[in-house]
Structure 1
Amino acid sequence: MLWPFNHFRKPRTPLRGTIEAIYGMIVTQAREPSLYRDFGVPDTVNGRFDLLLLHLWLVLRRLKSAEGGPALSQALFDHFCNDMDDNLREMGVGDLTVPKRMQAFGEAFYGRTAAYDLALTEGHEALAQAVCKNILNGENIEKARLLATYAEAAMAALDTLDEATLVSGSAGFPVPEKTGTQQ
């Protein structure tokens, strides 16, 4: 008799394809070379993680106003957590260390999103300061201002998307080079 091992697979949900498409869009943009080259983001594991969090925050912010937004947001965050867990394990992080690292990832996510949300209420310079602290290690406020301008352009672009386009994951973000030089 053959035993089904389906319970070892990740569950298929109706949202899975949608979430994978949206997450793929986020990861693709977080890897955009011009963000590292022109905006001063360190091309390191931490720099890439910080850009991933910035883009995840931008999309989660937009999903708040979408129909089914809470479910999509939770599924997207869960997918992010699963991706981080998988990456840690692929890098050889031990089973006992993974939960501690995941806790650190969660704290980084919630800390940064709270800082970005607060900064939005205070204006462009506050967002630049938050970006400088969280992405550029507090070292380059001019580049942080450019990155804040890019984030504001990305927010505006995401806000104009209809929900069908947003959840398809095919929309994309603005081209960084065309947004970063405007103030």
Structure 2
Amino acid sequence: MYFTKAFGLLAAIGTLASAAPTSMNSTTTTTTTTATNSTTTHGTVNTNGGNSGSVNIHNNMKDTIYYWSVSEDAGSMKSLDPGASYTESWRTNPNRGGISIKMAMKPEQVDVLQYEYTLQGDTIFWDLSLIDMGTSSEFTKVGFAVTSNDSGCPSATCAPGDTACADAYLVWNDDHATHGCPAGTQMTLNIGPSA
């Protein structure tokens, strides 16, 4: 959970920076692109704490996935049947850390794939973590990918059989694997081949 501790520290620094006089704060430029019947926002947008972002996890495998949404406690285990989806709206951790959705092929937190996120103001920071997942995991065999409804938001793909996925944390300090998107972003994690 180095990820959550690091973002807790960033949150504290961000709070101090936002309390500084205006002359000490940097100016953020926002670019808005309008497409047919939708508006996509890139950059930091002030939503005054409101957001409608979420992650949708879709099980494209033939087996059940067990998952826990972990904040300051382990959360209760839930299951995701083949073909089913789970949607979690962005939430915050009371201890100022992040949230980790841990997924396993058994009803225990062993050999887990993690989708981790931290809501910080108008930005959702997210990553995939393979730190606690073995290279022979079913998840590795079938592959997985994160996409979003925002073309400016980074995606992440770990192809079937890729045991050294460059788009995910393999060790605790793989900071290149952390991405930031506007808080209203709708993320999708497809596990296994999507239709």
Q: TM over 0.5: same fold?
A: no
TM-score by length of 1: 0.24
TM-score, normalised to structure 2's length?
A: 0.23
Between structures 1 and 2, the one with greater strand share: 2
